[in-house]
Amino acid sequence: MASIRERKAARNESFCTALRLALCPSLTVRSFTVLIVVIDIVMFIAELSLHPMSTTEFLAPNSLSMDVLGEKDPRKMKNNL
């Protein structure tokens, strides 16, 4: 935790800093949550780079790119497709 000298007065904080301190005070770049979010974003970009986005669902990657990346589809597994 920061010492008293290093801490800013509440009136000197920006709105974004106040939100960050109120909602996620212990979030750092090296935290597990940030790591998972970065991996999710990289996988989403990889799926979009293989096949364009399908227009049936909002922000849904194409099922062909998910097949290439190893999606586990129960119907395909049952029917040996």
Q: Is residue 15 part of a domain?
A: no
Domain residues for 75? 28-79
Domain count for the chain, please give it.
1
Amino acid identity of residue 80, one-letter, is N
Q: How confident is the prediction for the chain on average, in pLDDT?
A: 81
Q: Is residue 64 part of a domain?
A: yes
Nearest to residue 67, comparing CAs of 57, 75, 55, 58?
A: 75
- Report CA-CA distances (Å) from 55 to 36, 37, 58: 26, 24, 7
Q: Is residue 38 part of a domain?
A: yes
- Report CA-CA distances (Å) from 61 to 38, 64, 75, 77: 17, 9, 19, 20
pTM, 2 dp: 0.59
The segment with the largest mean pLDDT, out of 21-25, 51-55, 74-78, is 21-25
Q: Is residue 4 part of a domain?
A: no
Q: Is residue 1 part of a domain?
A: no
> Residue 52 pLDDT more than 80?
yes
Q: Is residue 17 part of a domain?
A: no
Q: Is residue 42 part of a domain?
A: yes
